[in-house]
Amino acid sequence: MEVTRKEAAQLLLAADDILILCHRNPDGDTMGCAHALQHGLRSLGKRARIRCSDPFPSRYSFLWEGEAGQDFAPRFIVSVDIADEGLFGEGLADCLGKVDLAVDHHPSHRFFARNTLLEPDSAACCEIICLLLREMGVSLDRQAALCLYTGMATDTGCFKFSNTSPRTHRLAAEMMEAGAPYAEINKRVFETKSAAEFAAEREALNTLEVHCGGQAALIVLSRELYSRCGVTEAELEGIPSLPTRLEGVEVGITVKEREPGSYKISMRSVKRVNVSDVCRQFGGGGHRYAAGCSLSGSLDEVKSAVLKAVEAALA
């Protein structure tokens, strides 16, 4: 059932030995939520730990610096920024059907938890965690502020995208005042690339194709490119925002090869198209302006299926 922020706070205050779940292929928002929540719960004397199917990218190591590991059998499970149990990933299969509280901001959320705190107007799930921790009486120190700022910044393209609200800005200002080293975070998250990433991005741009009379642009990231440049998919997380930078493009598509014959699609919309709707046709989802789905087949089949759906959405 849906709960209010106050009810969610009461559930957490009453709980202990709390396991926090992140979504697979973790981004700054799910990691920021989890680490801020873990830090806040521990500051109240509770035991808390985090699990995720995929390893956390080292780029974000500042989120967990100085936090000790804790080992315990969980008695309460919270998921953060997870819209759907399908995003748990294989490593969290044992948690399916066992979530006590889901905190999320995705409009496409599919209720899977005993209790759900859903605030779809929040640009980042970290906004909700920020207000939830405050509701719980946790005073936000530098470490919590750093985690929460990271989620707010990463989910909004550093306050650039349409999901950013005046509240996002005001909460970011508070996180800065609480000591979040924002410039270092932004530099590390948005503006630092290894020589390998630099090279891979240049190569990825060379695959750019324009379709639908200039309204769609598509980039392909092949496993061959990953291995030749020595980069992982997670290190190229900025690529999906590149195709829409081309003037006139309404929908940007990034086709990432996962395994031979298996592709992850990241879709971005500039304005007109709801790409969450497009991706839902393939069993995916997300937000109006940023969504994703998975497809199987040859590269040509996958591209043509996706482009057909995008063309229909553009029409």
- List interacting residues with its own copies (CB under 8 A): 153, 157-162, 164-167, 169-170, 172-174, 176-177, 182-183, 186-187, 190-195, 198, 202, 205-206, 208, 241, 244-247, 270
Task: Give the residue from 104, 107, 96 showing the smallest Cα distance to 33.
Answer: 104
In whole angstroms, how close is the CB of 231 to its own copies at the nearest point? 12
Min dist CB 119 to its own copies, Å, is 18
Q: Which is nearer to its own copies, 22 or 290 (CB)?
A: 290
**CA 32/CA 52 separation, integer angstroms:** 13
Bridge partners, residue 221, by sequence: 256
Q: How far is the CB of 136 from its own copies (least distance, A)?
A: 24
CB of 271 to its own copies, least distance (A): 8
| Tally of residues, the chain | 315
- Cβ proximity to its own copies: between 93 and 205 the closer is 205
Residue pair 48/41 in contact by the 8 Å Cβ criterion: yes
Residues 6+ apart with CB under 8 A from 273: 250, 251, 310, 313, 314
Whole-angstrom distance, CA of residue 290 vs CA of residue 268: 5
CB of 189 to its own copies, least distance (A): 9
Using DSSP's 3-state secondary structure scheme, residue 289 falls into: coil
Please compute, for residue 33, the number of CA atoms within 13 A of its CA located in the half-sphere on the CB side: 32
Cβ at position 276, least distance to its own copies in Å: 17
Q: Can you tell me the distance from the alpha carbon of 48 to that of 28, in angstroms, rounded to the nearest whole number? A: 19
Residue 121 or residue 177: which is nearer to its own copies going by CB? 177
Distance from C-alpha of 270 to C-alpha of 161, rounded to nearest angstrom: 10
- For residue 89, give the amino acid letter: G
Q: How many CB atoms lie within 10 A of CB 210?
A: 14
Question: What SS3 class is residue 120?
Answer: coil
Minimum distance between the CB of residue 314 and its own copies, rounded to whole angstroms? 17
Nearer Cβ to its own copies (160/308): 160
Choice between 252 and 292, CB closer to its own copies: 252
Please, which residue, 95 or 270, has the CB nearer to its own copies? 270
Q: Which is nearer to its own copies, 75 or 142 (CB)?
A: 142
